[in-house]
Structure 1
């Protein structure tokens, strides 16, 4: 019985980490979609970056590149594993493209 309890705690911690990873991936996808919508409306790059940063998980890196035809929005975040599990962090990434509105300046 004494051996089963630490194992149960470890399995529970890893399961909760899995939920945190899934939640962070959904947040990343939502963030890039918010940025793509802002870019499609023709908002300036700083406004697009702000929209993405607001929706992204804490500690995420945000990238916005506006080209002549498209704007690319990227989010990357590392989700740390539970210390007891001894697993490495998982890096999650999401990106979206939006057509650059006519008349909107390039990069």
Structure 2
């Protein structure tokens, strides 16, 4: 067997396989976490959109039950809603839980969105 650089590489057999065997699961985990983070960011935007719709409805003078029903229709499933009135301002906050990524036992993340509107006269 001819040596090209004067280095015997016969002991390196299987090294690439071992490196790939370690790299693929790590890359898969990173991709899964990235997709979960994008999903959580989308859920936060859904909360903000629902809070804006609820704040507009509350500012128009809709009842609290109507505002909550609107948020339940437009917001994420199982979202918690809080409404606060302080003078001329109505603040609506919508919170939802983003479950942990896949089968990994990580705690769920709570995301929220809020909106403030001035009461219309």
Q: Same fold (TM over 0.5)?
A: yes
Q: Deviations over 1:25-70 (max 9, x none)?
A: 1101100000011112211111111111212112211122445533
Pairwise CA RMSD of aligned residues? 1.9
Quick check: which has more Rg, 1 or 2? Answer: 2
- State the match for 2:119 in structure 1: 100
Q: Deviations over 1:48-96 (max 9, x none)?
A: 1111121211221112244553332111111122145543221112222
Matches of 1:32 and 1:50 in 2, distance apart? 12
Matches of 1:48 and 1:72 in 2, distance apart? 12
- State the match for 2:93 in structure 1: 74
Scaled by the length of structure 2, the TM-score of the pair is: 0.72
Q: How many residues align?
A: 102
Scaled by the length of structure 1, the TM-score of the pair is: 0.80
Matches of 2:86 and 2:120 in 1, distance apart? 10
| Structure 1 residue ranges, 4+ long, deviating more than 6 angstroms after superposition | none
- State the match for 2:35 in structure 1: 16
Gaps of 5+ in 2: 1-19
